[in-house]
Structure 1
Amino acid sequence: MAQSLESFLAELRTDVDRFEKAYRAKVAEIPEHYPLTMVDGNEGLWFEFFTTFVTTGEA
């Protein structure tokens, strides 16, 4: 099925917003397991966390 760039970006923005909401809820619940800042060299974990959320729905 064809998809426009605009449609793809809208979907991505929705996923980012959903991830932020879910992640912040986990921060409030278990702050020691959900950092809000990654140390130098671990910044790639944000992308890993995001892609895991998008594919599984789990933050």
Structure 2
Amino acid sequence: MAIVSRELPASGYAVQIDGRLKAEFATRDGARTGAEELKKRFPMLKIRIYDAQTQTREDVELS
């Protein structure tokens, strides 16, 4: 069985779903829009946005 490891991006933003990186974005707005759309469709998932510049993660919650 092959092990797939995605490294954290060096720049931009990434959407993390249940602890796994799924998509990368150049802008925060793009990452937020994508993450919110996923959260609306799948509210049971833990979705976070990773900011490569500050190396922080932000949880995405529906309002």
Scaled to the shorter chain, the TM-score interval is 0.3 to 0.5
Structure with bigger helix share is 1
What's the TM-score once normalised by structure 2's chain length? 0.33
What's the TM-score once normalised by structure 1's chain length? 0.35
Query: Whose Rg is larger?
Result: 1
